[in-house]
C-alpha cells in the first residue's frame, strides 16, 4: 500500500487515485537562468514520485509548466518580470532567454535520468485560459480591479492559508501593503497586471493590455490539462505559503471543487549549511559539477540518499562521498553480474517486498538504498544483480549502462595489464588471472579482506602468487 505525506493534512495518507490514470502537476522552472543543483533536487524528487507510482503499476499523466512570463522578481507581485530583466541584462528578447534556458533545463533533466512528465507546456501559450479564469473569478466576486490590475480577494475565500496553516488576520507570508494601496488585504495577490506601453510581454484583455500573474498560470494550466480536480501536486517547500496557497484559492473559488488530493513538497538543498545564493558564489549547476569531475549519477545518488522531506546540505566532501559510494556500488554490481550463487525464491520475494515497503512509505528512497547495500554485501549472485536492475526502475541510477561501461573499461585495463608480471618483465597474464587481480584490488579497496584472501587462493590455484606491496599488488608465476 502506497502512502504519501500530504502537506495539507500534515499526515501520511494512503494513496488512492481519482481515476484510472494518476494525474500529477509539477511546478516547472522559471527559465530566466540556468537551473541550479537545488532546483535539480526538486525535479529528482518529482521523478522519484513518478517512478514509485509507475513501479506500483499506475499509469501516469503528469504535467509540468515552463514559466516564461509573469514570474516577478518577488513572488509577491513586486519588481520586474524575471525574463524581461534577464533579457535586458543580456541584450536578448525574453523569448530568446526562454529558449536558451528551457533547452538547458531539459538537457540537465536528461543527464540526471529524470523522466520528463508526459505533458510540458509553456505559460505564454495559454494566456487565453488564464484570462478565462480571471474573468470567471471576477464574475463570481472573488476578484476586484485596481489601478494596476486585477487582484484576488482572499477574504472571500475563508480557508485561505490552510495549506501553510496561516490565519487571515495574521501576518501572512508574502503580504505587502506598500505594493498597491488599493488592495483590500495585504496578502491579496495579482491575477492580471496592466502593462505599461514599454512592457515587452503583453496581451489584450477586457481590461486593456496586460500580462498574467505567476500563480494563475499553474491554476489555469493544471485545470486545462489535468481537470478541475487532480491527484498530486508537487513543488518545493518555498511554494507552500504563497504560490500554492494562491493556486488553491484561485482554482477552488472558480470551480467549487477540491483542486488537488495530495500536495507534496520537497525540502530545500542548502550549501555548507546556508542559503544558496549568487552573491555568496555557491550556486552550482550540473555542468559545473561535471567540469569538477562529478557525474550526474554521482549527484543523483547524493540526492537520493536523503529523504525528500529533509533538508539536504550540499558540501563537496559529501558529494565526494557519494561519488565513491556510487562507484563502489557499480563495482559490486559487476561482481554480482558474474556471481555464481543462487538466491532461493523466498529470499528474492522477501527482498522485493522489503523494497516495495520502503519506497511505498512516502517514497523512502534512502531506506531502499540501504536494502540494496545489504543485498550487495551478501554472496555474489546474478539474482541480486537482476533484483538491483529491477529496483533501479525507481532509483534511476543507470545501473545497467554503468556496469557495461565498467566492464568495457576493465577489459581494456586487463589487456593493458597483460605483460605486467613482476612489474612488466614477464609473459602476458592469462585473462582469467588479470580479472581476478582486478577483483582483488577492488576487494582490498573496499576493505573486504575475506574476499581478497579468497581471490588470492583462486589466483594461486591458477599457478600465480600475488604479493601486496605499498604500491599495490604484484604477481609472480608459481
Residues that bind ligand AMP (CB under 6 A): 27, 29-30, 38-39, 41-42, 235-236, 238-239, 266, 268-269, 276
Least distance from Zn ion to the Cβ atom of residue 348, Å: 42
Nearer to ligand AMP, 57 or 281 (CB): 281
**How many CB atoms lie under 10 A from the CB of residue 199?**
15
Nearer to ligand AMP, 39 or 331 (CB): 39
* CA 194 remoteness from chain centre: 35
Nearer to ligand AMP, 294 or 391 (CB): 294
**How many CB atoms lie under 10 A from the CB of residue 104?**
17
Query: Choosing among ligand AMP, Zn ion, none, which partner's interface includes residue 39 (Cβ < 5 to 8 Å by kind)?
Result: ligand AMP
Helix (H) or strand (E) holding 169: none
149 and 210 Cβ atoms separated by less than 8 Å: yes
**CA nearest to 299, candidates 278, 326, 276, 265:** 326
25 and 49 Cβ atoms separated by less than 8 Å: no
d(CA 349, CA 355): 10
Least distance from Zn ion to the Cβ atom of residue 336, Å: 42
Least distance from Zn ion to the Cβ atom of residue 243, Å: 5
Least distance from ligand AMP to the Cβ atom of residue 309, Å: 12
Nearer to Zn ion, 83 or 343 (CB): 83
d(CA 125, CA 123): 5
Nearer to ligand AMP, 238 or 361 (CB): 238
Chain residue at closest Cβ approach to ligand AMP:
236
Query: Choosing among Zn ion, ligand AMP, none, which partner's interface includes residue 218 (Cβ < 5 to 8 Å by kind)?
Result: Zn ion
d(CA 112, CA 399): 13
Least distance from Zn ion to the Cβ atom of residue 245, Å: 11
Nearer to ligand AMP, 41 or 126 (CB): 41
Query: Choosing among ligand AMP, Zn ion, none, which partner's interface includes residue 137 (Cβ < 5 to 8 Å by kind)?
Result: none
Query: Choosing among Zn ion, ligand AMP, none, which partner's interface includes residue 264 (Cβ < 5 to 8 Å by kind)?
Result: none
Query: Choosing among ligand AMP, Zn ion, none, which partner's interface includes residue 161 (Cβ < 5 to 8 Å by kind)?
Result: none
Nearer to ligand AMP, 41 or 300 (CB): 41
Q: Quick one: DSSP state of residue 155?
A: G
13 and 273 Cβ atoms separated by less than 8 Å: no
d(CA 268, CA 272): 13
**How many CB atoms lie under 10 A from the CB of residue 53?**
23
474 and 422 Cβ atoms separated by less than 8 Å: yes
Least distance from Zn ion to the Cβ atom of residue 67, Å: 7
Residues that bind Zn ion (CB under 5 A): 27, 218
**How many CB atoms lie under 10 A from the CB of residue 241?**
20
Query: Choosing among Zn ion, ligand AMP, none, which partner's interface includes residue 440 (Cβ < 5 to 8 Å by kind)?
Result: none
Query: Choosing among Zn ion, ligand AMP, none, which partner's interface includes residue 29 (Cβ < 5 to 8 Å by kind)?
Result: ligand AMP
What string of H, E and C letters represents the secondary structure of 330-370?
A: HHHHHHHHCCEECCCHHHHHHHHHHHHHHHCECCCHHHHHH
Least distance from Zn ion to the Cβ atom of residue 71, Å: 9
Nearer to ligand AMP, 126 or 185 (CB): 126
d(CA 176, CA 118): 37
The DSSP annotation for 38-66 comes to HHHHHHHHHHHHHHHHHHTT-EEEEEEEE
Least distance from Zn ion to the Cβ atom of residue 54, Å: 23
Nearer to ligand AMP, 30 or 124 (CB): 30
Query: Choosing among ligand AMP, Zn ion, none, which partner's interface includes residue 38 (Cβ < 5 to 8 Å by kind)?
Result: ligand AMP
Least distance from ligand AMP to the Cβ atom of residue 11, Å: 22
Amino acid at each position: 500500500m502506497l502512502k504519501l505525506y500530504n502537506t495539507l493534512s500534515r499526515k501520511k495518507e494512503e494513496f488512492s487515485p481519482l481515476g484510472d490514470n494518476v494525474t500529477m502537476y509539477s511546478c516547472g522552472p522559471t527559465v530566466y537562468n540556468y537551473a541550479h543543483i537545488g532546483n535539480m533536487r526538486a525535479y529528482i524528487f518529482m521523478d522519484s514520485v513518478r517512478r514509485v507510482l509507475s513501479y506500483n503499476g499506475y499509469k501516469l499523466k503528469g504535467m509540468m509548466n515552463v514559466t516564461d512570463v509573469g514570474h516577478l522578481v518577488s513572488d509577491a507581485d513586486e519588481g520586474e518580470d524575471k525574463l524581461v530583466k534577464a533579457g535586458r541584462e543580456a541584450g536578448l528578447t525574453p523569448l530568446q532567454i526562454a529558449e536558451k534556458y528551457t533547452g538547458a533545463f531539459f538537457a540537465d533533466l536528461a543527464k540526471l535520468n529524470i523522466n520528463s512528465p508526459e505533458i510540458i507546456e509553456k505559460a505564454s501559450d495559454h494566456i487565453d485560459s488564464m484570462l478565462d479564469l480571471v474573468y470567471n473569478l471576477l464574475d463570481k466576486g472573488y476578484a476586484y480591479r485596481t489601478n494596476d490590475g486585477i487582484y484576488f480577494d482572499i477574504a472571500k475565500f475563508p480557508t485561505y492559508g490552510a495549506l501553510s496553516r496561516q490565519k487571515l488576520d495574521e501576518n501572512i507570508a508574502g503580504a505587502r501593503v506598500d505594493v498597491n494601496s488599493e488592495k483590500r488585504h495585504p496578502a491579496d495577490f495579482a491575477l492580471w497586471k496592466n502593462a505599461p506601453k514599454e512592457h515587452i510581454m503583453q496581451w489584450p484583455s477586457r481590461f486593456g493590455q496586460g500580462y498574467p500573474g505567476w500563480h494563475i498560470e499553474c491554476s489555469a494550466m493544471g485545470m486545462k490539462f489535468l481537470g478541475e480536480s487532480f491527484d498530486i501536486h508537487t513543488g518545493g517547500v518555498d511554494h507552500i505559503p504563497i504560490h500554492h496557497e494562491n493556486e488553491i484559492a484561485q482554482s477552488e473559488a472558480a470551480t467549487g471543487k477540491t483542486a488537488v488530493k495530495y500536495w507534496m513538497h520537497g525540502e530545500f538543498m542548502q550549501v555548507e549549511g546556508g542559503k544558496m545564493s549568487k552573491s555568496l558564489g555557491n550556486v552550482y549547476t550540473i555542468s559545473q559539477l561535471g567540469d569538477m569531475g562529478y557525474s550526474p549519477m554521482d549527484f543523483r545518488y547524493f540526492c537520493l540518499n536523503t529523504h525528500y522531506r529533509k533538508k539536504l546540505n550540499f558540501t563537496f566532501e559529501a558529494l565526494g562521498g557519494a561519488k565513491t559510494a556510487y562507484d563502489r556500488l557499480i563495482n559490486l554490481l559487476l561482481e554480482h553480474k558474474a556471481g555464481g550463487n543462487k538466491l532461493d525464491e523466498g529470499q528474492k520475494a522477501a527482498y522485493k517486498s522489503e523494497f516495495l515497503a520502503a519506497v511505498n512509505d512516502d517514497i523512502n528512497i534512502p531506506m531502499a538504498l540501504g536494502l540494496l547495500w545489504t543485498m550487495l554485501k551478501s554472496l555474489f549472485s546474478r539474482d541480486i544483480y537482476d533484483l538491483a536492475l529491477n529496483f533501479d526502475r525507481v532509483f534511476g541510477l543507470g545501473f545497467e549502462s554503468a556496469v557495461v561501461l565498467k566492464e568495457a573499461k576493465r577489459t581494456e585495463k586487463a589487456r593493458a595489464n597483460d605483460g605486467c608480471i613482476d612489474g612488466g618483465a614477464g609473459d602476458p597474464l592469462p585473462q582469467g588471472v588479470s580479472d581476478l587481480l582486478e577483483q582483488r584490488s577492488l576487494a582490498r579497496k573496499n576493505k573486504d579482506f575475506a574476499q581478497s584472501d579468497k581471490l588470492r587462493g583462486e589466483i594461486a590455484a591458477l599457478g600465480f602468487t600475488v604479493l601486496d606491496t605499498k604500491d599495490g599488488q604484484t604477481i609472480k608465476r608459481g
